[in-house]
Amino acid sequence: MAGTDASKTAPALDGPAVILVEPQLAENIGMAARAMGNFGLTDLRLVAPRDGWPQKSAHKKGAHQAASGAAHILEAARLYPDVPSAIADLNVVYATTARERGQLKRVVGPQEAAADCIARAGAGQKAGILFGRERTGLTNDDVSLADAILTFPVNPAFASLNLAQAVLLVGYEWYSQATGAVLPFAPVREGLNAVPARREAVTSFFDYLEAELDAAGFYPPDKKPIMARNMRDIFHRLAMSEQDVRTLRGALVALVQGRRGGRNQPRPSRRKTASAEEA
Amino acid sequence: MAGTDASKTAPALDGPAVILVEPQLAENIGMAARAMGNFGLTDLRLVAPRDGWPQKSAHKKGAHQAASGAAHILEAARLYPDVPSAIADLNVVYATTARERGQLKRVVGPQEAAADCIARAGAGQKAGILFGRERTGLTNDDVSLADAILTFPVNPAFASLNLAQAVLLVGYEWYSQATGAVLPFAPVREGLNAVPARREAVTSFFDYLEAELDAAGFYPPDKKPIMARNMRDIFHRLAMSEQDVRTLRGALVALVQGRRGGRNQPRPSRRKTASAEEA
């Protein structure tokens, strides 16, 4: 989805390192970088990518295309020969895996891992998350270097997430918690739309509506009070702004004038014969 | 990541419909289906896919490859000519968009939308979520057919999510809430690892460790009580199982016997000269 606003800057947040262990396809490295960019993660580490790094021009192009604007993350990626060197400076390491490994490590979901990463960053510690090879994931030896296992609350009958999707979910949970899940925009409410209409505009609208409905024979005898209350209920649910009241009143006037043959409103031709008040 | 367990079945959950409006690439339809499969969503609706549906064999193959095991979702996908027909049976509709539309709709994040979908399903209502075209998203006319806007708490400087990623995040939040974020596995604790060790095994381990450290001259005079307490603190943090105690005790015995020239342990050659008790 489009929507990137280049005038906005990412919040400066100290997120966990994303460590891709022996990634195979440049496109997947690029997609992971893009997912990181979506959620304000910047520390990308590559352990022995199959095709090397920086990659040959064709591969590099694929990675950058897939990164789709997160080239700055790719450019800043650091290369390591093995997992121990990639995690050397970290204080805590999570290993993502979709299957049980027979290791008695703590197993957490993205929410718990994100909360821990945020708490540690606040204490000046640095966390990192290991992501495995596209086809085979992390080896048991890779997992044995981590403090805890990170897995996802997925449908157990279909648990396979691709690399970039796993990075995306980790980034999403981390960014949501780090920023309080602030959404990038809120409904535009400015001018006449900024606030609910003053009540005199609303009651005036009701008065006009009810008078016209009365004139049109809408209310059966003795039913007007309850029917009018019900109608007011419906319109109160709209929490109308001044602009809403004007729009709806304008539509109402058009319907009434059209029915009466008012000069300013084109009369729908099909309604001509149904117009009782006119010629 | 691998990890799908075909012996497990998806929980039967009544999730929201995923409605892809004029998707362009078969691969993206497949990736969206895969993301749905990961999180137990099954109701896929396609509005006027650019290349038609069912697609020509080449396209169809791309979609199925990308779906990676979610072919049942693709096969059950329903085709509609336009958005109104695709949402006709729904009780509430969300429109996903990464940018503000100048429409005064309620704007919610994935958490709130997921909670609403679950509450509505519980009341027998059916919800659906519109996802736009890969390049241009939903039109304002598409959005005007929805009850509310669904957007993501993303880095505003880099807000563009691809189609499958948007579906993935919606599915993740919905499934997490619908299932209580149950993870697909927990640490294996069985046999000697199932429970914390009986305390007599732990104190026996401490006694052995402290006696050997004493014999090795580890404790300075008068410091033994506090140093022993600190060492016990370290090992208590492990919350050792019976198996852990056996493993650590075995390692300790090996170190002591090796140092003493025990027959069953090979002595590291470098340590030979550092061995004070022998030869």
Answer yes or no: is B185 within a domain.
no
**What region does A14 belong to: left with phi over 0, alpha with psi -120 to 50, or beta?**
beta
Q: Closest Cα of chain A to B168: distance in Å?
A: 8
Do residue B187 and residue A107 have CB atoms under 8 angstroms apart? Answer: yes
B2 burial (CB, 10 Å; 0-12 / 13-18 / 19+) is middle
Q: Examine the pLDDT at A270 and tell me if it is beyond 80.
A: no
Q: Examine the pLDDT at A66 and tell me if it is beyond 60.
A: yes
Mean pLDDT over each residue of chain A, to the nearest integer = 85
Confirm or reject contact between A196 and chain B (CB < 8 A): no
pLDDT at A238: 85
Of B172, B76, B174, the residue nearest B120 (C-alpha): B174
Confirm or reject contact between A12 and chain B (CB < 8 A): no
Answer yes or no: is A11 within a domain.
no
Q: Examine the pLDDT at B214 and tell me if it is beyond 60.
A: yes
Do residue A152 and residue B183 have CB atoms under 8 angstroms apart? Answer: yes
- Number of domains composing chain A: 2
Residue B103 confidence class, pLDDT cut points 50, 70, 90: confident
Lowest mean pLDDT among A47-56, A134-143, A186-195: A186-195
Q: Which domain holds residue A31?
A: 17-179
Q: Examine the pLDDT at A97 and tell me if it is beyond 80.
A: yes
Q: Closest Cα of chain B to A62: distance in Å?
A: 16
Q: Which of A97, A105, A185 sits opposite B100 (nearest CB)?
A: A185
Please state, in angstroms and rounded to a whole number, the distance separating the CA atoms of residues A141 and A208: 77
Do residue A3 and residue B98 have CB atoms under 8 angstroms apart? Answer: yes
Q: Closest Cα of chain A to B215: distance in Å?
A: 33
ipTM of predicted assembly, 2 dp: 0.78
Q: What's chain A's length in residues?
A: 279
Helix, strand or coil, per DSSP, at residue A45: strand
Q: Examine the pLDDT at B72 and tell me if it is beyond 60.
A: yes
B51 in the same domain as B102: yes
A209: domain CATH number is 1.10.8
**The pair of three-digit structure tokens given for residue B29, joined into one six-digit string:** 């339809």
Q: Which of B6, B38, B155 sits opposite A10 (nearest CB)?
A: B155
pLDDT at B274: 38
Q: Which of B40, B69, B189 sits opposite A160 (nearest CB)?
A: B69
Of B126, B87, B92, the residue nearest B108 (C-alpha): B92
pLDDT, tens digit (0-9, with 9 covering 90-100), for A128-141: 999 999 999 999 99
Q: Which of B98, B187, B189 sits opposite A1 (nearest CB)?
A: B98
Q: Examine the pLDDT at A268 and tell me if it is beyond 50.
A: no
**What mean pLDDT is predicted for residues A192-206?**
86
Answer yes or no: is B5 within a domain.
no
β-sheet bridge partners, residue A20: A46, A131
Query: Are B261 and B278 a contacting pair, CB within 8 Å?
Result: yes
Provide the percentage of residues in chain A whose pLDDT is more than 90: 53
B152: domain CATH number is 3.40.1280.10
**Which residues in chain B have their CB less than 8 angstroms from residue A190's CB?**
none
A171 in the same domain as A88: yes
A220 in the same domain as A158: no
pLDDT, tens digit (0-9, with 9 covering 90-100), for B124-182: 999 999 999 999 999 999 999 999 999 999 998 888 899 999 999 999 999 999 998 88
B133 in the same domain as B101: yes
Please state, in angstroms and rounded to a whole number, the distance separating the CA atoms of residues B268 and B222: 33
Please state, in angstroms and rounded to a whole number, the distance separating the CA atoms of residues A22 and A138: 9
Answer yes or no: is A6 within a domain.
no
Do residue A157 and residue B5 have CB atoms under 8 angstroms apart? Answer: yes
pLDDT, tens digit (0-9, with 9 covering 90-100), for A243-259: 899 999 998 998 888 77
Mean pLDDT over each residue of chain B, to the nearest integer = 85
Give the rounded distance of the alpha carbon of B22 from its chain centre.
30
Task: Report the helix count and the strand count for chain A, using DSSP H and E.
Answer: 10, 7
Question: Chain A to chain B, count of Cβ pairs less than 8 Å apart?
Answer: 227
Do residue A132 and residue B1 have CB atoms under 8 angstroms apart? Answer: yes
Single out the residue in B136, B151, B179 at which a domain terminates. Answer: B179
Q: Which of A184, A193, A241 sits opposite B159 (nearest CB)?
A: A184
Residue A10 confidence class, pLDDT cut points 50, 70, 90: low
A208 in the same domain as A96: no
B199 in the same domain as B173: no
Q: Closest Cα of chain A to B222: distance in Å?
A: 34
pLDDT at A9: 56
B199 in the same domain as B172: no
pLDDT higher at A94 or B57:
A94
Please state, in angstroms and rounded to a whole number, the distance separating the CA atoms of residues A54 and A58: 11
Query: Are A131 and A21 a contacting pair, CB within 8 Å?
Result: yes
Phi, psi of B195 (to 5 degrees): -135, 160
Lowest mean pLDDT among A57-66, A260-269, B213-222: A260-269
**What mean pLDDT is predicted for residues A181-193?**
76
Confirm or reject contact between A40 and chain B (CB < 8 A): yes
pLDDT at B93: 95
B170 in the same domain as B209: no
Answer yes or no: is B251 within a domain.
yes
Do residue A3 and residue B102 have CB atoms under 8 angstroms apart? Answer: no
**What mean pLDDT is predicted for residues A37-47?**
96
**What mean pLDDT is predicted for residues A123-128?**
94
Answer yes or no: is A279 within a domain.
no
pLDDT at A126: 94
Please state, in angstroms and rounded to a whole number, the distance separating the CA atoms of residues B42 and B78: 11
Single out the residue in B150, B179, B208 at which a domain terminates. Answer: B179
**What mean pLDDT is predicted for residues A36-40?**
95
**The pair of three-digit structure tokens given for residue B165, joined into one six-digit string:** 């990623």
Q: Examine the pLDDT at B57 and tell me if it is beyond 50.
A: yes
Q: Residues of A numbered 232-251 whose beta carbons fall under 8 angstroms of chain B's beta carbons: which are they? A: 241
Answer yes or no: is A1 within a domain.
no
Residue B278 confidence class, pLDDT cut points 50, 70, 90: very low
pLDDT at A159: 83
Please state, in angstroms and rounded to a whole number, the distance separating the CA atoms of residues A117 and A41: 12
Residue B7 confidence class, pLDDT cut points 50, 70, 90: low
pLDDT at A43: 97
pLDDT at B267: 43
Q: Are strands A127-131 and B17-21 parallel, antiparallel or unpaired?
A: unpaired
Do residue B153 and residue A135 have CB atoms under 8 angstroms apart? Answer: no
pTM: 0.80
B149 in the same domain as B79: yes
A118 in the same domain as A50: yes
Q: Which of A136, A151, A181 sits opposite B185 (nearest CB)?
A: A151
pLDDT, tens digit (0-9, with 9 covering 90-100), for A155-181: 988 888 999 999 999 999 999 999 988
Furthest-apart CA pair in chain B: how many Å? 91
pLDDT, tens digit (0-9, with 9 covering 90-100), for B217-271: 999 989 998 999 998 998 988 888 888 999 999 989 988 887 776 555 444 444 4
Do residue A106 and residue B186 have CB atoms under 8 angstroms apart? Answer: no
Residue A261 confidence class, pLDDT cut points 50, 70, 90: low
pLDDT higher at A12 or B208:
B208
Task: DSSP letter for A64, please.
Answer: H
- Residue in the block written with tokens 């309850």: A226
**Which chain A residue shows the shortest CA-CA distance from B13?**
A155
pLDDT at B265: 45
Cα Rg of chain B (Å, integer): 30
Please state, in angstroms and rounded to a whole number, the distance separating the CA atoms of residues B49 and B26: 9
**Which residues in chain A have their CB less than 8 angstroms from residue B12's CB?**
none
Cα Rg of chain A (Å, integer): 30
Please state, in angstroms and rounded to a whole number, the distance separating the CA atoms of residues B242 and B234: 17
A218 in the same domain as A168: no
Single out the residue in A129, A148, A179 at which a domain terminates. Answer: A179
Please report which helix (H) or strand (E) contains residue A35, including its range.
Answer: helix A26-38
Mutate to test the interface with A, among B155, B165, B188, B248 (most CBs of A within 10 A): B155
A201 in the same domain as A175: no
**What mean pLDDT is predicted for residues B199-223?**
91
Do residue A188 and residue B2 have CB atoms under 8 angstroms apart? Answer: no
Q: Examine the pLDDT at B121 and tell me if it is beyond 90.
A: yes
Answer yes or no: is A4 within a domain.
no
pLDDT at A58: 61
Provide the percentage of residues in chain A whose pLDDT is more than 70: 85
Q: What's chain B's length in residues?
A: 279
**The pair of three-digit structure tokens given for residue B138, joined into one six-digit string:** 């939903």
